[in-house]
């Protein structure tokens, strides 16, 4: 693949921890996604890891999971192309306004619960340290 070719999709530079897996997760290894686009990714993966055929690439912090195939390999870098038609999860900005409001209310309610739990824990710590 020539470096001077025009890309069909824009690549986004990232530093996301990911996991490559085969056979429904029976065999897996960690990697890092250093570039990501709608059509593929550039992965940083140990030289000793063999990549063959199709495999799954998962980025847990983005709730992202796609089937991919190896396009090129150069030492610790692997260029992959996504082979499924599934798009990644919608970005928060792409949600409709009402969906954002609902999500915000849910997060605010969760925040109130967490603050209450934290307050109880702080009180327990104070009681234990006073004894």
Enumerate the domain spans of the chain: 12-82, 92-130
**Is 50 exceeded by the pLDDT of residue 25?**
yes
Name the CATH superfamily for 12-82: predicted glycosyltransferase like domains (2.40.10.220)
pLDDT band at 1 (very low <50, low <70, confident <90, very high): very low
SS3 percent helix, strand, coil of the chain, rounded to 5, is: 35, 35, 30
Whether the predicted model's global pTM rises above the 0.85 cut = no
Alpha-carbon distance 52 to 47, whole Å? 13
pLDDT attached to residue 96: 59
**Is 70 exceeded by the pLDDT of residue 5?**
no
Cα Rg, the chain, nearest whole Å = 21
Kind and range of the H or E element at 80? strand 77-82
Torsion 74-69-20-9 (CA) sign: positive
pLDDT attached to residue 99: 66
Contact call for residues 88 and 62 (beta carbons, < 8 A): yes
The first and second tokens of residue 21, run together, are 């897996």
pLDDT tens digits for range 26-69? 889 999 999 999 899 999 999 898 888 899 999 998 889 999 99
pLDDT band at 17 (very low <50, low <70, confident <90, very high): very high
Sequence length of the chain is 131
Torsion 85-89-94-99 (CA) sign: positive
pLDDT tens digits for range 76-121? 999 999 998 755 444 434 445 666 777 778 888 888 888 999 999 9
The first and second tokens of residue 66, run together, are 């796609």
pLDDT attached to residue 101: 74
């Amino acid at each position: 693949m020539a470096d001077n070719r025009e890309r069909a999709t824009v690549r986004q530079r990232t530093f996301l921890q990911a996991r490559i897996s085969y056979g429904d997760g029976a065999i897996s290894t960690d990697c890092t996604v250093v570039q990501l686009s709608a059509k593929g990714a550039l992965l940083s993966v140990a030289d000793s890891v063999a990549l063959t055929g199709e495999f799954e690439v998962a980025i847990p912090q983005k709730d992202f999971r796609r089937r991919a195939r190896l396009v090129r390999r150069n030492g610790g870098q692997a260029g992959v192309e996504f082979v499924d038609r599934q798009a990644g999860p919608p970005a928060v900005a792409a949600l409709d306004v009402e969906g954002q409001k609902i999500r915000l209310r849910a997060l605010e309610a969760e925040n109130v619960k967490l603050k209450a739990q934290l307050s109880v824990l702080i009180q327990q710590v104070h009681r234990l340290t006073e004894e």
